[in-house]
Amino acid sequence: VSGTREMHDQDAFKAGQRALWDASAAAWDKWHDELEAWFAPVNARLLDDADVGPGKRVLDLGTGYGEPALSAVARVGEEGEVVGIDLSQAMLEVARRRAGERANVTFTAGDVETMDLPSGFDAAVSRLGLMFVVDQVATLGAIRAALVPGGILALAAWGPADRHLISQGLAPLIESLDLPEPPADSPTPFSMSDPDRLTATLEAAGFVDVSITEIVVPVLYASTEAFVRFNLDALPSGLLTAIAEKYGAADSPEAWDLVAERVRPHLQPDGTLALPSLALCARAQNPAAGEALG
Ligand SMILES: C[S@@+](CC[C@H](N)C(=O)[O-])C[C@H]1O[C@@H](n2cnc3c(N)ncnc32)[C@H](O)[C@@H]1O
């Protein structure tokens, strides 16, 4: 019985994830240029760590609107190939549109946790996509099996919540809503935020030579109002409904003044709002052929 309940919980979680990311695809598309400016150092790190270069075959897990897949395409050239996988069809539609006529990239809908992954990749990358899987060791093991011997996984995940100034800024508003706690074991954006645990998880999945680098994502909004607009575009609809129910409207000044007050220390002299947030970039290797699994 408990197995059946776990299955239902997981199905419900995945359905929720799919709906959440489908609903936020338009916002990610709209804010693409800002997001890509912030995440440029993470993309560079992931593609360097994974040794993505001409002729390589690269798998991108949780590619969303197509990053870092599309940045990888520019590196692998016509002889290489990039495959992006995501749970959300709406995100993938944006990715496909952004890919345009490029022939060496394909985007496939699927749950990285349960699908049969294609194989034979030199590198796997993921930017903020793998924190949302339920069974990290099993999923990372399947990703390892999709790599050639000696192939590299480079993934980025958010670091600890207290170093994530975006969510710190939202905290007083979210806390004021008295929302029910999600189940303790359900994945969150911070499910890979402990470097020691992430290292142990990658090793348990059979990877070797694991290293983790901290990168501060230089999140910068044009103003506090821009931060509010971003959240009104991108927050899950359930959260916006809860704000509307408590404050009369999702964009209620009373609600967002709580946020403006919290982020005020991060306002820059030119009026921009800097909310630097820590990401962990992990690099791990599939053992080379003949290398003993430790
Ligand atoms: C924070 S977004 C990151 C998207 C993109 N990599 C980027 O950095 O712009 C997380 C993405 O992971 C996807 N995702 C979450 N769980 C997944 C799963 N189990 N399998 C495939 N994709 C998943 C979501 O649909 C979403 O597009």
User: Which pLDDT score, from 0 to 100, does residue 294 have?
Assistant: 47
Assess whether the C-beta atom of 66 lies below 6 angstroms from ligand 1.
Answer: no
β-strand pairing of 273-274 with 220-221: antiparallel
CA 224 – CA 46 distance, rounded (Å): 30
Both tokens assigned to 276: 């630097």
DSSP 236: -
Any ligand 1 atom below 6 A from CB of 67: yes
Q: Per-residue pLDDT averaged across 62-83, rounded?
A: 97
Q: Which residue lies with its CA nearest to atom 14 of ligand 1?
A: 62
Report the candidate in 179, 191, 106 with the shortest Cα–Cα distance to residue 155. Answer: 191
151-200 pLDDT tens trace: 999 999 999 999 999 999 999 999 999 998 888 888 999 999 999 999 99
Going by CA atoms, what residue is nearest to atom 13 of ligand 1? 62
Confidence band, pLDDT 50/70/90 cuts, at residue 8: low
pLDDT in tens, 13-23: 899 999 999 99
pLDDT at 292: 53
Which residue's alpha carbon is nearest to atom 1 within ligand 1? 128
Residue 4 has pLDDT above 70, yes or no: no
Q: Which residue bears the tokens 């496939």?
A: 108
Q: How far is the CA of 281 from the centre of ligand 1 (A)?
A: 16
Tell whether pTM > 0.85: yes
Q: What is the pLDDT of residues 194-203, one digit of tens each?
A: 999 999 999 9
Residue 184: the pLDDT is 81
- Looking at residue 293, what DSSP letter applies? P
Q: Give dist(CA 65, CA 26) in Å, integer.
A: 10
73 CB near ligand 1 (under 6 Å): no
pLDDT 10s digits, 209-249? 999 999 999 999 999 999 999 999 999 999 999 999 999 99
Residue 132 Cβ inside 6 Å of ligand 1? The answer reads yes
Q: What is the pLDDT of residue 50?
A: 98
pLDDT of 1 strictly over 50:
no
> What is the C-alpha to C-alpha distance for residues 213 and 233, in angstroms, rounded to an integer?
31
Average pLDDT over the chain reads 95
Q: Which of 53-57, 77-81, 289-293 has the lowest mean pLDDT?
A: 289-293
Average pLDDT over residues 53-71: 98
